[in-house]
Structure 1
């Protein structure tokens, strides 16, 4: 009885704290026959039975500091790449017994899928490319109920996919680092054997010589790769050593499709030269020119040995090429590798200096030849000394501006006033843009000491006018004292080449003394608008 109670208590102690009590379904129907469906399902509440081991469905990675991130997020766009080879038997063939076929094995940690690709090899005669599409691959028997994980991979091991035994001999740097982080001890890299058949075929092709006694010149590939690609250089031809010669700025264009060169001249305004379309017409430019005058057909890519008419029955006209190219004239032409900034090329006897190039040309030389230095050379001549322009003095006829316009051009044009200022500072409404001051004339004459004047300054065109108010019982008649006009500053020469300076609005303020054509006025007061305007523009 005591043993029964102990077992009963142990059973209930195991149930304390449990929340799941479901049972797995171990029995089912297959073809209407009752049988054991699976012996891998757990017991009550998902707990393993005695002697049962849980087989992982996916790779189990060591938990780090950050947990809870799904594998398809943590290992997104990460691929393990392994280099492998396979010995493929070749039956019923005398030349070879087996072939070494090279493969790339890709393992995706995000979902444990595997993909096997065979790199394409030229003239292999085998269907190459994807060998096994991407999916999860089962382990070989007797573990075919499980799948490959990341822990099944290493260097210098054999791995079996659907009966094909692949020999992994190396992997990339990322894969090695990944395997070390998850605790896999890497083996030493193996050596990949060379395919005996491809080795023998390569040796045979190296020993063979072309049977045809001529070479093929196919420029279609060059045309398709470099169509509409032109290298542009900015050049200089210094012809100052010759009589009436000068510096000529040129633009050289090198066409990559057929290695031809075209040169055009950059015509400046008022250069005195006739505008020509080409400085050098497009064609191949010889390095050592002028080489001389040759007959048509002497300079060709191929040398013709003889011309024959064929057989008499089926007459076929053709020709044979000279293999040894006897009598062929060799002539070197400029290539893209010869055009470098700072180099002087020979353009049919003219020394042309390459000074600069455009951005496409810089990218082309940087990608193809690895050139990094593109320091440009100044091709423009130094500016001529600036000649100071001197004007004759003012004659006294008309205004100074009109007299100056007749000295600037052959056809005099009228002086243009500042119409924008005239429109902005023109009076409208209660805004007059006119500064009015009350002034007293400073003089030694007793009769003119008490005379009062109103000085108006117009901001639209910087003109002044002086008006004397009428005062009863005075000797002065009053009225206009000075008509509206610009007033020159005192102390200036009348007949000179420079324009005169005029009184500016900054010189007018209460308490100032202004010299107006020899009359000195003392500004005593101003109207309300003038005082308000001066307060708003106190910084001027």
Structure 2
């Protein structure tokens, strides 16, 4: 029986003393020992008295019938499962007139894992009381005289009143999980109960309506606009044409509109050396009115307006604030008034907007859909026209022949002698970078009336960094400098002039060109592989190395008599042509418009030279087995274990780096170059993963035994530079050349075209029968339309 009536306030004189009639005031023992010393370790157990029905509520859960308790502990079965109930309690208010109590809503949590209860009160703004955790999580006992037992799930349900530490709570609702859980346990859950009206809250709302009267805003709150558009500025470009006035000029302006506070700032872009101060502020930041009638008087710019409701005849008057701001008739420019080709009035000056920046364009496109406005035109600046007409090009005196032209011109420009300025950007672009020297080297011979000079050999180097040339003579003792590095002037120019002389450029340098250096005439006969490759890579700068331009020119020449050309040049057996045969024919057809460099470009693009390998798979395997036998290596089983260890998924494939690491880790008595050469002939898939089973068979001497070979110099013979580069261009692929010409459609206009086409198909079939031949790879990327059989490392023919 509850000794406290919940309807009475918990004050002295209004409650009953629970200690009346008690004779024992000691604290009962809550724990007891279970188990005997003979059974093992003793443990503490909480002592719980049976309830009025004689059941021990803590020993047997109320969810299950007796004898059907789960073997799992409750903290594991009901982990993170909580029952949630909505409740309220009444708090008595003694000093509040008109409100004897107030309703306080709480949430009761019942944790199934340990039977603990927690009570929280949701926070309400301006409630006047401390809210949050109302009762910490703990096990709560029944009120006396049932205080020996604790609350369980059967004691919590909608409509019930529970007492926690002398405070009564009435449960009115629960969540979906709690309702489902209790229903599955056989506990009927009633419908939710509505929350009673809170008289204290109702009284506060009435007082608030009576006390708080609506007043006009004295200030406008612009914090929301500031937070949304802070640091967002619309930038326009425009002008103010003031050229019609005396001493007026065209003002190029930059207009900034600040979205955070609707202010405008205008800056004037002043050119350098214009006689005006740079960074000039045309209009300081502020709101720009659309029409200016004069200076504002005192109070005109106030954020609110006063209204005299009684008129001027009454003494003292009666003034109130204008809540609608009808007295403010000032109109300022907004973002909607600004766009390309619009005109704004800046205190009598007409400013025309001509363009905007990308952010402003995207802003107006998203908000107003204005994204197709073309930029406006700027009027002609008369002052710049006068300046351009008044400036004249500086005329230097004629060169006197002493020193270089640049040095003499620099001394004429300044009184103090200074070194001529050089193109530093060009130097950085064409300076040596790794393997790129940016030096074009050509072999040349001298044209002279003296026969001995014609037999001399020269090397002409053209330096792209500063357009200088150096000539070196090749002799028995090495080479010696014939012409020091310097710029070379084109022949046939006047010497003593004011204009700078024309010099040799990289476009003048090609095989077959004639160069005049200090009255010595040289003919370029050949070029190194770097020079040819560099010109082909940069074919847009060097027309003599542009395959597309060359073949277009050849196609135009061969189109009228292409049938006779094919009949004469078609090979008999193999689908290749010698270089000299095609060269002689093209030179006869093209005439003087065809150079040796262009022919070399064609031969390099359609080269059919074959490279015969020095070491195939069988020979490399024989050399490898011989080396393993010499050093008595026979640890194939461990090598297999290492491969399987690196391949846990048993795919049978590993990368080249992993295979190389395993072979070196197993201490194979092979050189690094030998291991790399061996991996080159191992089988691999399309993903470049190597088959390590093939490596094991390659090293197993019991599989296809091979005879021992004569020891060789492994480090030299397996070195990548020991094999000479193939000389490309000696043989030309006839089928690839014709395929690139693409003139087969011209046969239809000629008689007997089917026979010629049949012959071409027969040659292509013969090429297929020969099979795949390994050729060198071309380093250059000639063009997107170049044939598929380009070569990497080639030399000139």
Q: TM tier, shorter chain? A: 0.5 to 0.7
The answer for the alignment partner of 1:463 in structure 2 is 469
1:200–1:403 CA distance, 2 compared to 1 (3 A): farther
The answer for the alignment partner of 1:310 in structure 2 is none
Q: Which runs of 5+ in 1 are unaligned?
A: 1-30, 62-66, 307-318, 363-371, 386-390, 426-431, 471-478
1:55–1:242 CA distance, 2 compared to 1 (3 A): farther
1:205 aligns with one of 204, 208, 230: 208
- TM superposition shift of 1:87: 2.9
1:270–1:98 CA distance, 2 compared to 1 (3 A): same
The answer for the alignment partner of 1:138 in structure 2 is 140
The answer for the alignment partner of 1:193 in structure 2 is 196
1:509-540 C-alpha deviation (Å, 9 max, x unpaired): xxx887555734576999xxxx99x97x9589
8 A contact 2:252–2:270 mirrored in 1: no
Distance 1:504 1:357 in 2: 42
Distance 1:408 1:83 in 2: 95
Residues 318-333 of structure 1 correspond to what in structure 2 (within 5 A)?
A: 322-323=319-320, 330-331=327-328
2:420 aligns with one of 404, 410, 414: 414
8 A contact 1:249–1:266 mirrored in 2: yes
The answer for the alignment partner of 2:265 in structure 1 is 263
Q: Which 10-residue stretch deviates more, 158-167 or 36-45?
A: 36-45
The answer for the alignment partner of 2:634 in structure 1 is none
Tell me whether 1:252 sits opposite 2:239 in the alignment: no
1:69-99 C-alpha deviation (Å, 9 max, x unpaired): 9669964xx9876543323344576513332
SS class of match (2:205)? helix
8 A contact 1:59–1:151 mirrored in 2: yes
8 A contact 1:240–1:247 mirrored in 2: yes
Distance 2:109 2:268 in 1: 59
Distance 1:131 1:438 in 2: 95
The answer for the alignment partner of 2:299 in structure 1 is 297
1:85 aligns with one of 80, 88, 106: 88
8 A contact 1:355–1:376 mirrored in 2: no
Distance 1:68 1:277 in 2: 82
SS class of match (2:320)? coil
Residues 519-530 of structure 1 correspond to what in structure 2 (within 5 A)?
A: 519-521=521-523
The answer for the alignment partner of 2:563 in structure 1 is none
Distance 1:405 1:507 in 2: 33
The answer for the alignment partner of 2:233 in structure 1 is 233
Distance 2:352 2:177 in 1: 56
8 A contact 1:341–1:356 mirrored in 2: no
The answer for the alignment partner of 1:20 in structure 2 is none
Distance 2:204 2:157 in 1: 33
8 A contact 1:341–1:375 mirrored in 2: no
Tell me whether 1:128 sits opposite 2:127 in the alignment: no
Distance 1:222 1:252 in 2: 16
- TM superposition shift of 1:233: 1.5
8 A contact 1:85–1:103 mirrored in 2: yes
1:139–1:424 CA distance, 2 compared to 1 (3 A): same
- TM-score, normalised via structure 1 length: 0.52
- TM superposition shift of 1:191: 2.8
1:55 aligns with one of 58, 83, 91: 58
1:134–1:450 CA distance, 2 compared to 1 (3 A): same
SS class of match (1:323)? strand
8 A contact 1:139–1:145 mirrored in 2: yes
8 A contact 2:252–2:269 mirrored in 1: no
The answer for the alignment partner of 2:456 in structure 1 is 452
Distance 2:527 2:225 in 1: 86
8 A contact 1:434–1:456 mirrored in 2: no
The structure where helix makes up a greater share of residues is 2
- TM superposition shift of 1:55: 0.9
1:92-140 C-alpha deviation (Å, 9 max, x unpaired): 7651333222334456677635132253453x5x533246242314143
2:100 aligns with one of 97, 100, 119: 97
Residues 343-362 of structure 1 correspond to what in structure 2 (within 5 A)?
A: none
- TM-score, normalised via structure 2 length: 0.39
1:299–1:453 CA distance, 2 compared to 1 (3 A): closer
CA RMSD of aligned residues (A): 7.0
The structure where strand makes up a greater share of residues is 1
1:100–1:69 CA distance, 2 compared to 1 (3 A): closer
8 A contact 2:431–2:438 mirrored in 1: no
The answer for the alignment partner of 2:176 in structure 1 is 176
1:187–1:484 CA distance, 2 compared to 1 (3 A): farther
Distance 1:434 1:299 in 2: 75
1:73–1:399 CA distance, 2 compared to 1 (3 A): farther
1:199–1:292 CA distance, 2 compared to 1 (3 A): farther
Residues 128-167 of structure 1 correspond to what in structure 2 (within 5 A)?
A: 128-130=130-132, 132-141=134-143, 144-148=147-151, 158-167=161-170
- TM superposition shift of 1:203: 3.1
8 A contact 2:489–2:501 mirrored in 1: no
8 A contact 2:79–2:112 mirrored in 1: no
8 A contact 1:263–1:281 mirrored in 2: yes
The answer for the alignment partner of 1:369 in structure 2 is none
8 A contact 1:514–1:522 mirrored in 2: yes
Distance 1:342 1:52 in 2: 85
Q: Which runs of 5+ in 2 are unaligned?
A: 1-23, 65-71, 244-248, 310-315, 381-392, 529-720, 726-778, 780-792
- TM superposition shift of 1:226: 7.5
Distance 2:133 2:480 in 1: 110
1:236–1:152 CA distance, 2 compared to 1 (3 A): farther
Distance 1:329 1:246 in 2: 38
Distance 1:73 1:86 in 2: 29
